[in-house]
A = this chain, B = another copy of it.
């Protein structure tokens, strides 16, 4: 998995990584693998020393001018760190790898330099943390959300997409708000339910636990994650998490009622909704090759138009597998290619046309 990735045309470096933990150091290693210059900074000097020693880059020095800043700090410090990066590096594109996306965006939305910020979130991690757990292949084949906001400059989006591909990630395009609703469903609420299952074990007699099989190990594995980190993550996404927990609670009440009443058919129906849920999880790495189709859209060359198109595609509930921007500086209109599953292409075209976009088949 250590082959050098092809570098895109937009990201040329240097790349500054702020926060040399598991994710930041892994980004540094992946960028170095492709020959980019990487600068490192961290409040903990020993993290920079460790990451440097692993070959993830060198310590940031006075006078360094990064092209891209990747903010990889804990959730509670994310917004402030993104704002500080925009101010300290007035020419740089800034992204982050945090687990929630509306928070850091709101922290900079009122700043005129927010057009240089494009959020990101790689779906990769580990029960372990710190630079020693880092690996250049941590992101290989993993989804990596890219969350442009309405004011993101297209060139900033391109630079961040280059970073994602260079790290081996699979871009998933979402708005910051949709991203946070998505991770509440696919990550934060499953984590909390894993914790509820694991908590019951803590009170169990030892010989009862001897019956633990693969099932309970799988269900509870993520509950071993750092409570401090996850309380920050869940706390930063409380609205979306609460919406879903309310649904969970209602369904739990239904389960309790069905079990209590000996209502086998009702319980079977509830269990069947779980089966349906497991079937909609996409296969790893995109699963079996599905037929893809490109949809082209004319996009006026005004700030915000690309982000507006992305937001409209996201609202159409179509998963955009790839985006290519065919931008000719000499023309007032660019052509954007959206690659989607063939079976969803007509739906997307209709939806975009109804929102006023000029499409090409």
Contacts and interface: CB of A to CB of B under 8 A. Distances in A.
Interface of A: 1-2, 121, 123-126, 128, 132-133, 135, 137, 140-143, 145, 172-174, 178-179, 181-183, 185-187, 189-202, 204-213, 215-225, 227-228, 230-232, 234-235, 238, 241-242, 244-249, 251-253, 255-256, 259-260, 262, 264-265, 267-282, 284-286, 293-294, 296, 298, 314, 317-320, 326, 328-331, 333, 335, 344, 358, 360-361
Nearest to A127: B294
B189 A200 contact: yes
A57 to B, nearest CB: 18
B241 A259 contact: yes
A279 B199 CA distance: 10
Contact of A246 (B223, B251, B256): B256
A172 B210 contact: yes
Contact of A280 (B189, B201, B319): B201
14 contacts: A186-B204, A186-B208, A193-B196, A196-B248, A196-B255, A198-B277, A207-B318, A207-B320, A209-B281, A225-B275, A227-B274, A234-B267, A238-B262, A245-B255
B123 A211 contact: yes
A235 B259 contact: yes
A279 B201 CA distance: 9
Given A245-B256, A262-B238, A270 B195 contact: yes
Contacts of A221: 215, 218-219, 278
A285 B335 CA distance: 13
A189 to B, nearest CB: 6
Copies of this chain in its oligomeric complex: 2
A262 B242 CA distance: 11
Majority DSSP secondary structure for residues of A touching B:
helix
A311 to B, nearest CB: 12
Given A178-B207, A218-B218, A220-B278, 4 more contacts: A126-B294, A194-B197, A202-B276, A221-B278
A233 B217 CA distance: 19
A249 B259 CA distance: 14
A352 to B, nearest CB: 14
Contact of A259 (B204, B238, B326): B238
A335 to B, nearest CB: 6
